[in-house]
């Protein structure tokens, strides 16, 4: 599959334990897709919500298109994501039953279309975050001692 990664949400990997992943299409306007192609998108504080059996992406910042006119898009508008009804119902049941949340992980282009990879996740506790950072530091020290850095 021809896939060009535009941006990743590194904060999501730090703050959440990631479980099931899904790939969803995005409903965008013309100036939004042009801005995405210029890597002008930020997923840092974004999240997804299910409303009326549809899934929406909130707080996703797509910068204004420089060559756009007065019909340019709003930077942080709510964007609809495209998934099958079966996938949405499965996610909705896990959210209600197990307390998961939906976070976007990355935005990528495939065959000219913008897609977002979303995941069911649970928030990490503070001690889990510290433990993950300690393991990462240990791994970095091991790699450095081997001479890979």
d(CA 148, CA 100): 38
What's the total number of domains in the chain? Answer: 1
- Residue with the two structure tokens 């999501």: 12
Instruction: Show the domain range for 29.
Output: 4-146
Neighbouring residues of 95: CB distance < 8 A, sequence distance ≥ 6: 50, 101, 102, 120
pTM: 0.80
Supply the CATH number for residue 24's domain: 2.40.280.10
The CB density around residue 115, as the number of other CB atoms within 10 Å, is 19
Provide the 3-class DSSP secondary structure of residue 41.
strand
Q: Determine the pLDDT at residue 1.
A: 58
Q: Determine the pLDDT at residue 31.
A: 85
Provide the 3-class DSSP secondary structure of residue 97.
helix
Q: Which mean pLDDT values do the consecutive 10-residue runs of the chain (149 residues) have? A: 85 87 91 87 90 92 79 82 94 90 93 92 82 87 79
* Alpha helical stretches, state H, 29-125: 30-37, 85-98
């Amino acid at each position: 599959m021809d896939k060009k990664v535009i941006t990743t949400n590194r904060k999501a990997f730090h703050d959440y334990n990631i479980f099931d992943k899904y790939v969803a299409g995005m409903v965008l306007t013309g100036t939004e897709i042009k801005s995405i192609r210029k890597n002008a998108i930020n997923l840092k504080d974004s999240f997804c919500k299910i409303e009326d059996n549809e899934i929406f992406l909130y707080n996703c910042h797509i910068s204004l298109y420089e060559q756009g006119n007065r019909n340019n898009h709003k930077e942080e508008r709510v964007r609809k994501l495209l998934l099958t009804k079966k996938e949405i119902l499965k996610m909705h049941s896990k959210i209600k039953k197990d307390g998961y949340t939906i976070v976007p992980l990355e935005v990528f282009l495939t065959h000219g279309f913008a897609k977002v990879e979303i995941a069911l996740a649970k928030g990490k506790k503070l001690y889990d975050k510290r433990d993950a950072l300690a393991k990462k530091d240990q791994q970095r020290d091991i790699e450095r001692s081997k001479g890979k850095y």
